[in-house]
Structure 1
Amino acid sequence: MDLQERIARRRSARRGSRVVVDREQLSPVVHRPEPVGRGPVLEQLLDALESVFDGELPPPVAVVGPSGAGTSAIVTALFDALNQQFGGSDRTIATTTRGGSTEPVTWFVTVDGRHVESPFAFYRAVLSGISSERVPESGVGTDDLRERLSDRLARTDRRAIVAIDHHDEPETLGAERVHELLTPVEDCTATVAVGQRAPDDHRGPTVTVPAYRDHELVDIVTDRASTGLAAGVLDHDAVRELAGWADGNAHDALAALFGAAVLASEADADRIEPAHLERAWADVPDDGVHVSRALALSKTRQRVLIELVDIGPGERSIREIATAIAERSSLTTGTVKRFLYELADRGVIERLPLSTADNGSGRRPSTVAVRFPTIAFRALSPIGRESP
């Protein structure tokens, strides 16, 4: 970020919120162009992709790490930088005048598995990454998009490296399925599987991303706070405490920072107080899921989650919760109940046995609990922003 941009952000802070300068810089779903403290891992990933520098395809690569380790941020940042060198930032065909020849082009495409659940969506995402032309969202079939991809990569001097992010999460296209979908262009494509574990039967290099150490998380939170918050609203001692609490998970640290900033802004406070931080990190579940898992859902399902957060599950059964949500929306109790079971299968919420005084042998009722940061979800969801 250049100096003029920093000055502009400070000026804007004086015209609006007294705490937040740029909310996007605080968001746990936004990746920075250069991940903090991940130089050695970036070098390892470059080693795994070394053959692209010789104009060849690399073997299948896996990038694995625990939740909040920054695997997505690392791959996204590196692929963006490699596209500048090999594919051109505008995704057009790069040329050179040396000998009047056309240089080979390699595109680096990141496909977010959280938003891609069908072959059609996958082909559309890849085409959008290698072409500057608009890819239709409807009116064409999967076969048509597959043919367009084959045509785009038909020349021997064109190839694509496709990263499938979050390949190992529920309801996403797994790495094996992605390989099947890329079979028509397998001679000019390679894959990078990004997640918490390598794909089954993975035989290529694996780049392991460790959890952040406390001092690295301090640097990450400080970096975000310096661009996203007004000066002096967050003590450095609070940053260190936040980093220690997050225990190596950058998502949890940033979700808590973001939540605290939201709470301070809503309270029209001059700074982020300890009470804001305590409430914000209490809102981040232990062993929870990334807030983007919830944000990737359809608007209808996001609305159900908003209502679930608002009513608070308490000691109510899933049927009672579904009834309460249905009364606050246009959905039927049966539809809400089906959504709740589906969201539990996806891991966004969790089914828990409900305590009951009945000691009979019948089936025990269950309730649900959210597994994502609710303050960040409400603030970032278009549905949450509609709510009063």
Structure 2
Amino acid sequence: MRGGGPVVVVADHVGEPETVDVGTVDARLSAIADTFAWLAIGRDDPNAVGVPRETPVLGAEPYSRAALTDLLAARADAGLGQGALSHGAVRRVAEWAEGDAGVALSALLGAVEAAAADGDLAVDAAGVDAGMEAVPWPCVPLGRVLALPDNRVRTLACLVDLSAADRAPVGDCAARIADRLEVTASTVERFLYELAEAGIVERVRVDDHDGPGRPPSRVEPRFATLAFRRLFKRRFGAGAV
């Protein structure tokens, strides 16, 4: 944190793709820093990203397993009702998430989506398994994904509805998505390459390719797909793309 005053300007996700680095934050805000303080939040080692020498650095440790369990239990009770998710299931998600609240909450929301899709009134072990399996490691925060332009978000919504086989090769994947959107396949393909460059999705080589030429690539989401699907429906409506 740097500067002084009653107002704090917070720059989150500093140093991540499509965001500014801490040096840029400092350069843009230092000229008027006497009127407020600024706080840059990122995941990289401060010594490796050019934090100004005189700037105080605050470390944030991952949640302990017990603290994360309590957090998840409180969120589950508030969102689902008392006892809708067993304490054992909550503790299992907290242990699996290794102290990352964002990952744990994404898995929890994904478990709710899986249970709802199956018509279940409570989240059982199968729902928890599905919620965790839908979170890749490393995982792009859903805040970044949902902050994308609507046409990219809708493209991703179509992508997560495709099976792994239908996400390859990239051109065919784009054509399948374009069939559901009012855009051309070439536009969707451009979106997918841009999203891959930003780290939102990843192009993974298909290893079982036995035809001539270079192996095709499959498009894999790098975010929590079930949680994203639920948030997408909440924002755009069920059945929207």
Q: Where on the TM-score scale, by shorter chain, does this alignment land: which range?
A: 0.7 to 0.9
- One of 15, 24, 29 as aligned partner of 1:177: 24
**Structure 1 counterpart of 2:6:** 106
Alpha-carbon shift at residue 359 of structure 1 (Å): 6.3
Name the SS of the counterpart of 1:215 in structure 2: helix
**Structure 2 counterpart of 1:218:** 69
State how 1:134-153 maps to structure 2 within 5 Å: none
CA RMSD of aligned residues (A): 2.2
Gaps of 5+ in 2: none
How far apart, in 2, do the equivalents of 1:184 and 1:207 lie?
Answer: 22
- One of 143, 168, 186 as aligned partner of 2:15: 168
Contact 2:102 2:141 in 1 (8 A): yes
1:106 aligned partner, one-letter code: P
Whether 2:43 is the aligned partner of 1:192: answer no
Q: 1:337 to 1:189 in 2, by over 3 A?
A: same
Name the SS of the counterpart of 1:191 in structure 2: strand
- One of 92, 102, 107 as aligned partner of 1:256: 107
How far apart, in 2, do the equivalents of 1:223 and 1:318 lie?
Answer: 41
Residues 23-71 of structure 1: per-residue CA shift (max 9 Å, x gap) = xxxxxxxxxxxxxxxxxxxxxxxxx67xxxxxxx35xxxxxxxxxxxxx
Structure having the higher Rg:
1
Residues 266-320 of structure 1: per-residue CA shift (max 9 Å, x gap) = 4443321111111111111122211222111111000100111112342621111
**Structure 1 counterpart of 2:57:** 206
2:16 aligned partner, one-letter code: E
Percent of aligned pairs sharing the same letter: 36
**Structure 2 counterpart of 1:228:** 79
Contact 1:350 1:369 in 2 (8 A): yes
How far apart, in 2, do the equivalents of 1:258 and 1:240 lie?
Answer: 15
Contact 1:306 1:384 in 2 (8 A): no
**TM-score (norm. length: structure 2):** 0.87
2:172 aligned partner, one-letter code: E
How far apart, in 1, do the equivalents of 2:120 and 2:217 lie?
Answer: 40
**Structure 2 counterpart of 1:357:** 210
**Structure 1 counterpart of 2:149:** 298
**Structure 2 counterpart of 1:343:** 195
Q: Which has the higher contact order (CA 8 A, sep 6+)?
A: 1
Contact 1:289 1:348 in 2 (8 A): yes
Whether 2:240 is the aligned partner of 1:387: answer yes
**Structure 2 counterpart of 1:319:** 171
How far apart, in 1, do the equivalents of 2:67 and 2:170 lie?
Answer: 41
How far apart, in 2, do the equivalents of 1:265 and 1:318 lie?
Answer: 31
How far apart, in 2, do the equivalents of 1:211 and 1:183 lie?
Answer: 30
Alpha-carbon shift at residue 339 of structure 1 (Å): 0.5
How far apart, in 2, do the equivalents of 1:264 and 1:308 lie?
Answer: 21
Contact 2:69 2:91 in 1 (8 A): yes
Name the SS of the counterpart of 2:111 in structure 1: helix
| Number of residue-to-residue matches in the alignment | 233
**Structure 2 counterpart of 1:45:** none
Name the SS of the counterpart of 2:6 in structure 1: strand
How far apart, in 1, do the equivalents of 2:215 and 2:88 lie?
Answer: 46
**Structure 2 counterpart of 1:377:** 228
1:334 aligned partner, one-letter code: S
Gaps of 5+ in 1: 1-47, 50-56, 59-104, 109-161
1:339 aligned partner, one-letter code: F
Alpha-carbon shift at residue 254 of structure 1 (Å): 0.9
Q: 1:230 to 1:190 in 2, by over 3 A?
A: closer
Name the SS of the counterpart of 2:10 in structure 1: strand
